[in-house]
Amino acid sequence: MMLQTRYLGLNLNNPLVIASLPLAKDISSIRHMEDAGAAAVVLHSLFEEQILIEEKQLNENLLRGTESFAEALSYFPDISSFQLGPTAYLEHIKEVKRAVEIPVIASLNGISTGGWIEYAKKIEAAGADALELNIYFIPTNPAVMGDQVEQLYTVLVKDVTSSIKIPVAVKLSPFFSAAANMLKRIDQAGAKGLVLFNRFYQPDFDLDNLNVVPNLHLSHSGELTLRLRWAAILYGQLDCDLAITGGIHTAEDVIKSIMAGANATMMASAILKHGISHIQSVLSDMKEWMKKRDYNSIEDIRGLLSMKNIAEPTAYVRSNYMKVLGSYL
């Protein structure tokens, strides 16, 4: 059974990658994940805010004027909860590279272009095999127009991809008025991969204390369908690779993602729920599933259910909406 795949120009033993998670702060956990069969690891993110705060501590003056970006630094959580500051993050990349053989993908998380992007170069110099750029932006200002937001994405991607040679994947939201066009533009801006999609962590209300509180629920397989649809629509229309994150829990979830057209899948919640050994079960279930149906390799199934390859591509568009509504008895 050939589970090998290629993602961002990297050879992966199989399509199951560890999504960006705090678990990756611990070298021995990464070793266990590699032993369990994980094909690559995305490190937890280094946040733009962390870099700015470190710079602020170095020189208060450097920060003058930049407080205007959307979410004030004052709301940023206690920085110590992120443990690894920018300098330690670079050291961590070097240590992980020494500890494991699987590809190591670093993660930068930010929304604005600026000095902090220099960290992409430092991440490359530290030995990361690739960089995942997570753009998690919530445009709350009614004066900000859609094309300004789109510009923000493309400029940031261009700035990062033009400053380093290692491949850059972009992890982002599906919520654009013309998502296919936006994703194409990010592809054209130099991204070698798209990671579909960020989950949105909606804050909840604490009625006793009249507070807005952070609210993180782990995912479930039901969240996959949004990603499947977009991977299936995009497959064959972009130059860059596709990875799916959000709802990868079982072997079936991985197989569906590949059939939609993904090169790789990324798992986070299922590992937190079931432990690192879950990786092994998913891979062995995958092999069993493929063997039963006489599929010999990932290439045999990639894109099989994409819009390009299915007999009824309308399954992914508006007419399907009417069919779904009509199917409820």
- List contacts with ligand FMN (CB under 6 A): 19-22, 44-45, 107, 109, 134, 171, 199, 219, 245-248, 267-270
| CB of residue 65 to ligand FMN, shortest distance in Å | 27
Q: Rank residues 161 and 269 by Cβ distance to ligand FMN and give the closer one.
A: 269
Give φ, ψ of 77 to 5 degrees: -65, 165
E strand map for the chain: 5-7, 10-12, 16-18, 40-47, 104-109, 130-134, 168-172, 193-196, 204-206, 211-213, 241-245, 264-267
Distances (CA, A) of 43 to 112, 191, 251, 316: 21, 18, 23, 33
Q: Rank residues 14 and 107 by Cβ distance to ligand FMN and give the closer one.
A: 107
Q: Rank residues 112 and 134 by Cβ distance to ligand FMN and give the closer one.
A: 134
Q: Rank residues 111 and 307 by Cβ distance to ligand FMN and give the closer one.
A: 111
| CB of residue 287 to ligand FMN, shortest distance in Å | 21
| CB of residue 217 to ligand FMN, shortest distance in Å | 9
| CB of residue 82 to ligand FMN, shortest distance in Å | 8
| Angle at 300 (CA atoms; ends 296, 304), nearest 5 degrees | 145
Distance, in Å, from the CA atom of 273 to the CA atom of 267, rounded to the nearest integer, reads 11
Q: Where are the alpha helices (DSSP H) in 100-235?
A: 118-125, 146-163, 179-188, 224-234
| CB of residue 33 to ligand FMN, shortest distance in Å | 13
Q: Rank residues 36 and 307 by Cβ distance to ligand FMN and give the closer one.
A: 36
